[in-house]
Structure 1
Amino acid sequence: MPRIPGQIDVAKTEAILDAAVEVIGERGLAAPMEAIARRAGVSKQTVYNHYGSKADLMRALMTRRVESITASLREPGAVDNPTEALEAYARSMLETVVTNKSYSMMRVIMLGAGEMPDVAQEVFEAGPRAARRQLAAFLQMETELGRLKVENFEEAAEFFSGMVMGHSQMRSMLRLPSDKTPEEYGRLAREAAVRFMRAYAP
């Protein structure tokens, strides 16, 4: 059966990104690209063909992560069901926090930020800042439709994210066990969405 054009490239891209999460989580930001290539089962040149530098690779990792977290804001019906969209967004953030591989990588990025500030900047811009901007854009759209009354979209996005994450993020960064069950995280996400919608009701 002939392969679909680009199919193998997509598979290699995902393999490289998955390997990068694991290797960087284990060895830190200074992990060589060769180690990532070995874990992904591709050549070092293939990694460089996809990502010309460590900063490019980290940008791609963060972009993939943000796309996953913010997917609910782009789904059909999200505009008509902002509470459900925000609840799903909150659940995605919380699921990311309790994923060991994801936060192992974030811990080592923080530790290596002083030595590789350019990579740290890429992580921040393509990760947290990009996610907040997408949430802010969603809040602006809902405000223009009359379902919310938000004056400062970036600020409101920051408020919502902070309300959801609370101490969960810090517990994960410190490698402390979660103090909530998946059901409790679900209730937290729902409560945050409902309270936020109530606070910014038109």
Structure 2
Amino acid sequence: MIAVFLRWERVVAIPKVRSKSEEKRQQIYDAASKLFCDNGFAATSMDLVAKNAGVSKQTVYSHFGSKDELFVATITARCEEFLSTSTASPKDSDPYTTLCQYAEHFLALLLSPEALAIHRICINESTSYPHVSRLFYKAGPERVIAEVRDILAEYKQQNILAIDDIHTAATQFLSVIKGEIWMHKEYNIEKPISMDKVTLYIQNTVRHFLVGYGYHPA
């Protein structure tokens, strides 16, 4: 049921023919993504990004005006990949099927090494660099919440779900989906969780969530 549960793969097609400027931008982006994940925000300088990307510092700044902008670009790109590959649609299926599909996709992203690394960066550096967490939240989680909000709003409009506060319901859904599965990965608990257990967890969680809003899956 969950094909990419522990591995988030980049699936956005990259044009086969790119200009030199586009190639350099991709080099910078790739280098920055790895450095942010490996070293954190504070320890990643634009000089280091330029060195690892094999370009000049001036070239880095010509594509990204600041380190903040570069950090946001890496988060935004991952979020766009996630949103563009999500197949969950309230127009094509019932709430149970749609939300189960979304939960699978969401967990695949959430448990990817990059997502876990960025989350730890925001926690570890939130005191010295509080704006980093704000940048991350706006570029990533806030957009995912908005997508879930849109899905739930569509079902509410169809009188399938009885939801008064769409935003709260969306954040509740994402929070309960994370659950123990995310904690095992985040806290490096070695006890493995079987795929069958993951599937059952998603199904039961989605079912309980929907019952709370007046929908009873078959």
TM-score (norm 1): 0.80
Match of residue 39 from structure 2: 27
Pair 1:109–1:199, CA change in 2 (3 A): same
Match of residue 192 from structure 1: 205
Match of residue 18 from structure 1: 30
Residues 5-154 of structure 1 mapped to structure 2, 5 A cutoff: 12-30=24-42, 31-71=44-84, 75=87, 77-81=89-93, 82-154=95-167
Deviations, residues 125-169 of structure 1 (Å, cap 9, x unaligned): 222222112211221122112232211111111111111101333
Shift of 1:122: 0.8
Residues of 2 paired with 1:189 and 1:100: CA distance?
Answer: 21
CA contact (8 A) 2:90 2:151 kept: no
Residues of 1 paired with 2:24 and 2:97: CA distance?
Answer: 34
CA contact (8 A) 1:168 1:178 kept: no
Deviations, residues 5-53 of structure 1 (Å, cap 9, x unaligned): 8666555544433332321122111111232333344443333223212
Residues of 2 paired with 1:182 and 1:45: CA distance?
Answer: 47
Residues of 2 paired with 1:134 and 1:77: CA distance?
Answer: 10
Aligned residues: 199
- Which residue of the other structure, out of 179, 183, 194, is the alignment partner of 1:181? 194
Q: Higher helix fraction: Structure 1 or Structure 2?
A: 1
Residues of 2 paired with 1:147 and 1:156: CA distance?
Answer: 14
Pair 1:39–1:79, CA change in 2 (3 A): farther
Residues of 1 paired with 2:21 and 2:34: CA distance?
Answer: 20
Which 5+ residue runs of structure 2 have no aligned equivalent? 1-14
Give the SS at the match of 2:140: helix
Counterpart AA for 2:206: A
More displaced 10-residue stretch of structure 1: 42-51 or 134-143 = 42-51
Which 5+ residue runs of structure 1 have no aligned equivalent? none
Pair 1:113–1:137, CA change in 2 (3 A): same
Residues of 2 paired with 1:69 and 1:170: CA distance?
Answer: 21
Residues of 2 paired with 1:186 and 1:18: CA distance?
Answer: 33
Counterpart AA for 1:161: L
TM-score (norm 2): 0.75
